[in-house]
Structure 1
Amino acid sequence: MGSAGSEAEVSRADFPDGFVFGVATSAYQIEGARREGGKGDSIWDVFTEDKERVLDRSNGDVAVDHYHRYKEDIELMVSLGFSAYRFSISWARIFPDGLGEKINEQGVAFYNNLINFMIEKGIEPYATLYHWDLPNNLQKTMGGWLSDKIVECFALYAEACFANFGDRVKRWITINEPLQTAVNGYGIGVFAPGGCKGETSRCYLAAHHQILAHAAAVDVYRKKFKAAQGGEVGLVVDCEWAEPFSEKLEDQVASERRVDFQLGWYLDPIYFGDYPESMRQRVGKDLPTFSEKEREFIRDKIDFIGINHYTSRFIAHHPCPGDISFYQVQQVERLEKWNSGEPIGERCVHFLNLVYALVGMDEEDDPSATLDQVLNDTKRVGYFKGYLASVAQAIKDGADVRGYFAWSFLDNFEWAMGYTKRFGIVYVDYKNGLSRHPKASALWFSRFLKGEAAENKADTN
């Protein structure tokens, strides 16, 4: 990874002044308070009522109770040295029915209190408008992201957020990981709203409407709020970096195609007005088309890109991969290990020229482990060190990366995996009052941010 790639050497000084270090969460995963503050049900509230859909039969009704404990959580962020917090707003707290006609003042008040407390404590707010928790009424009445009517609903919701919070929030994210909503939510059905029965063709329609909704929100901001508020609106996409498995041309092309089906799916329309040609060739009539008016409308509707990255894979061409249809159509085989058998994710990290990066790793919940054991997450420490070293090197190589957010600040409800996976740098004790305990990774970050990581590297190796 170059000179900055040594885990022992990476430090805050390797990053330019003004580089943002933050943590991230999402509303459904941490807030709880399902039936408080006038909130309506989201698709995840309803999805988890069928307990068979979640590995440990759990839900986010209480989650980690951030709704009531946000001050404690923000103060913990401050004590660790972070300067930014990427949180998401629950659409169903602002408009319980999702329609944008009657605003829920209690929901507005909650986020005003949260944002004001963050700013009071010196934390910069980065607000995500949509992190998968669609108001259930929109799913029930119009089919959610499968309907073109949702574009206007999302624009109305975005406008309400800009109007109520935009005097303080200057960095907006429209949609987080739209690929996951499209594929896992509407294509495979393992995420809310479910019920898809493997009809993966629907994922392309859901994605199409997310792109149009994103553009509509940016358009509203630029026309009505940009001049007075001076903020920026971006999109956060997720991508597993694809490395060719061999030097064969077919594997090189396959790896490019794999990235097309992740980044290109959402970014090509915004930058070039249409989907990647490799998708057009393989998806055919299932891939929607943009009208000329829509092409012009979506073009350049973005101020920054965020990328959520968890791991990298080798990609080999495969004419008939034994996988679900979304991957079959790509004609790729996804490999996670080097020839030696070592996992690729811990060996090699690639970053593109992107503005904000979010990185995280999970670990299994171990009910038999002691508190000291679960707090000693040395593997995650090494993971963050490696990523930060790669980001620092990418910046030296000319990449325009301006921020890094650790996922996640807290252990939380991890979607279909429930509470069996822990991504947090802060341990939440689910059995003892949801008490918070910084893990070794949080303490390493704290030393890193305060310029002490190099001196203390021996403590976490």
Structure 2
Amino acid sequence: MASYSFLGVTVSFIFIITYAFANDTLHFPKDFLLGTATASYQIEGAWNESGKGESIWDEYTHNRPNFIRDHSTGDVACDSYHKYKEDVQLLSNLKVDFYRFSISWPRVLPTGYANVINREGINYYKNLINELLAKGIEPFVTLYHWDHPEIFEKMGGWTNEMMVEWISDYARVIFKELGPKVKYFITINEAAVFCDEGYGRNDKAPGKNLGSTGKYLCMHNALKAHAKIYHIYDEEFRKPGDKIGIDAACSGAIAKHLNDTTAIDLHFQFHCGWAVHPIFSKTGDYPEVMKTHIAENSRLDGYPRSLLPKFSPTWVNYIKGTSDFFALNHYTSVRVETVPREEGQRWYQFSGVKESLDPSWPGSASSWLKVVPQGFREIINKIAKEYDNPPLYIMENGFSDECCTSDHSRISYLHSYIKAMLLAIYEDGCNVKGYTIWSFLDNFEWLAGYTERFGLVYVNFTDSQRTRTPKLSFNWYKHIIETRKLTSTFDSPTVINVA
């Protein structure tokens, strides 16, 4: 029951009578927001049109085609650059409260620098925002979803502290041009993912494969950049009611062995806490256990200092508190277990935790994505407990399959995860304010290319017109948005073609 209110039992009782009905219907709280999301490189196409510059994903897909499962690129993708009006009409038919999309940095600043502004690029986003607002749809705008200008990568990208200045200059342009009509901004999407997979390894652009040194340096600069962007917005552009935050990817953790709460906590601190503890904790800075473990391993490996960079007290204070809400991306969970360690020996994978997947968990088209709704409830509760129950917006949650519009498995997944979220709200007292399905359209799914589909709308990538067809899940979600409730059954409605 609720544990975050001084009203105690009274609040718990109110929660019970609010949502518990004979037919097991769960209603969404008042003013709860329901939406869907995309990202610029994954849907826009028009990679070299209308003055756009080259992004790191343009470079990565063009020069490393063997890294992409079907050797595809985002050159055309869903062609949303040309078809945005059709997309907004679909969103209107879906009746979403908001649409989360991202800005392509090289589309608006083709040289990367703020001295050259591409008016065609800026106008594309202005037109998209105007179209959304005309349909009563709130834009949630992400400034950075992994596609910075290639010119900056040649100078080190996120391993160069100058990225803090470059992206701040870019953010100021966006706030000036688009801010007057936007109430919600997200600074950076999933820094832990692109730092680990793009700089620590080569599984995402730019594919630097620099190991732990690269990924920790990347995050260090990303956190500084986020904080600077927040302060610019707060001091120069914020309007009454505006909100800005950072987006973190946090998976759930299920203990492999009964009562191994240590493994659950360590997993959280080294994955989610790494990206958000400096912002949301009362003390700021990286989690203490991270600093300790990484320093010990670094010393044992002969390094003269920890591989985890150190924030100065000034930076700790500058970063702390720089988010109006917690934006969470969550898809799945892992099974965790503590790895025994002898004194003087290295910590396993720094954290001292081994991850695995439970073979009993249902799967998806993505090898990493298993259906574990209890992990969703667990991570929502963990965030609430760690960071004083902040306003929480689920900014991505979704399921992959390989084809088709009859996507019953997606509906089943979404139903179970939304139910877990609502139970976290009503039974656990978690402060969740909104929910977003990834994704609105089938799109370019990074290294999977077009072989994995997350969309509520089917896109025919072999058709030059990129024909869109709403799936069963589209109509199922539309019904939920219209009724503002989740029933115990999830029968799929008939597919409806929407022009």
TM-score past 0.5 threshold: yes
* TM superposition shift of 1:364: 4.0
Which amino acid counterpart does residue 300 of structure 1 have in structure 2? G
Would the alpha carbon gap of residues 10 and 162 (structure 1) be closer, same or farther in structure 2, given more than 3 Å must change?
farther
Secondary structure at the aligned position of 2:425 is classed as helix
* TM superposition shift of 1:363: 3.0
1:345 to 367, 371, 387: 371
1:200 to 192, 196, 212: 212
**Is the contact made by 2:158 and 2:222 (CA closer than 8 Å) also made in structure 1?**
yes
Which amino acid counterpart does residue 474 of structure 2 have in structure 1? A
For residues 91-130 of structure 1, the aligned pairs below 5 Å read 91-130=105-144
User: Which residue in the other structure is 1:34 paired with?
Assistant: 47
* TM superposition shift of 1:421: 0.6
* TM superposition shift of 1:264: 0.9
Would the alpha carbon gap of residues 199 and 87 (structure 1) be closer, same or farther in structure 2, given more than 3 Å must change?
same
User: Which residue in the other structure is 2:308 paired with?
Assistant: 287
Please say which of residues 184-193 and 291-300 is displaced more in the overlay: 291-300
Query: Residues 36-61 of structure 1, C-alpha deviation per residue, up to 9 Å, x if partnerless?
Result: 12110100000001211211100000
Secondary structure at the aligned position of 1:166 is classed as helix
1:44 and 2:65 aligned:
no
**CA–CA separation in structure 2 for the residues paired with 1:191 and 1:5:** 44
**CA–CA separation in structure 2 for the residues paired with 1:113 and 1:327:** 51
1:221 and 2:230 aligned:
no
**Is the contact made by 1:99 and 1:138 (CA closer than 8 Å) also made in structure 2?**
no
Would the alpha carbon gap of residues 414 and 319 (structure 1) be closer, same or farther in structure 2, given more than 3 Å must change?
farther
Structure 1: gaps (5+ residues): 367-373
**Is the contact made by 1:269 and 1:299 (CA closer than 8 Å) also made in structure 2?**
yes
**CA–CA separation in structure 2 for the residues paired with 1:375 and 1:342:** 20
**CA–CA separation in structure 2 for the residues paired with 1:405 and 1:218:** 23
* TM superposition shift of 1:347: 5.1
**CA–CA separation in structure 1 for the residues paired with 2:163 and 2:347:** 24
User: Which residue in the other structure is 2:444 paired with?
Assistant: 413
* TM superposition shift of 1:375: 0.8
**CA–CA separation in structure 1 for the residues paired with 2:482 and 2:117:** 42
1:299 and 2:306 aligned:
no
Which amino acid counterpart does residue 66 of structure 1 have in structure 2? S
For residues 187-336 of structure 1, the aligned pairs below 5 Å read 187-196=200-209, 199-226=211-238, 228=239, 230-248=241-259, 251-270=260-279, 271=281, 272-284=283-295, 285-319=306-340, 328-336=349-357
Which amino acid counterpart does residue 159 of structure 1 have in structure 2? R
Query: Residues 417-443 of structure 1, C-alpha deviation per residue, up to 9 Å, x if partnerless?
Result: 111110101111112331111111111
Q: How many residues align?
A: 441
Would the alpha carbon gap of residues 405 and 327 (structure 1) be closer, same or farther in structure 2, given more than 3 Å must change?
farther
User: Which residue in the other structure is 2:86 paired with?
Assistant: 72
Which amino acid counterpart does residue 269 of structure 1 have in structure 2? P
Would the alpha carbon gap of residues 318 and 52 (structure 1) be closer, same or farther in structure 2, given more than 3 Å must change?
same
**CA–CA separation in structure 1 for the residues paired with 2:237 and 2:25:** 39
User: Which residue in the other structure is 2:424 paired with?
Assistant: 394
Secondary structure at the aligned position of 1:190 is classed as coil
Please say which of residues 408-417 and 283-292 is displaced more in the overlay: 283-292
User: Which residue in the other structure is 1:148 paired with?
Assistant: 161
**Is the contact made by 1:5 and 1:390 (CA closer than 8 Å) also made in structure 2?**
no
**CA–CA separation in structure 2 for the residues paired with 1:9 and 1:59:** 45
Which amino acid counterpart does residue 115 of structure 1 have in structure 2? I
Query: Residues 169-224 of structure 1, C-alpha deviation per residue, up to 9 Å, x if partnerless?
Result: 0100000111111000100111101132x523210000000000000000001111
Which amino acid counterpart does residue 267 of structure 2 have in structure 1? R
Would the alpha carbon gap of residues 341 and 118 (structure 1) be closer, same or farther in structure 2, given more than 3 Å must change?
closer
**CA–CA separation in structure 2 for the residues paired with 1:113 and 1:412:** 21
Secondary structure at the aligned position of 2:181 is classed as coil
Structure 2: gaps (5+ residues): 2-14, 296-305, 364-369, 385-390, 495-499
User: Which residue in the other structure is 1:132 paired with?
Assistant: 146
For residues 362-377 of structure 1, the aligned pairs below 5 Å read 362-366=399-403, 374-377=404-407
Secondary structure at the aligned position of 2:468 is classed as strand
Secondary structure at the aligned position of 1:48 is classed as helix
Secondary structure at the aligned position of 1:307 is classed as strand
Secondary structure at the aligned position of 1:23 is classed as strand
Would the alpha carbon gap of residues 454 and 98 (structure 1) be closer, same or farther in structure 2, given more than 3 Å must change?
same
Which amino acid counterpart does residue 387 of structure 1 have in structure 2? Y
Using the size of structure 1 for normalisation, the TM-score is 0.90
Using the size of structure 2 for normalisation, the TM-score is 0.83
**CA–CA separation in structure 1 for the residues paired with 2:188 and 2:348:** 23
**CA–CA separation in structure 2 for the residues paired with 1:460 and 1:420:** 25
Structure 1 vs Structure 2 CA RMSD: 2.4
* TM superposition shift of 1:295: 1.3
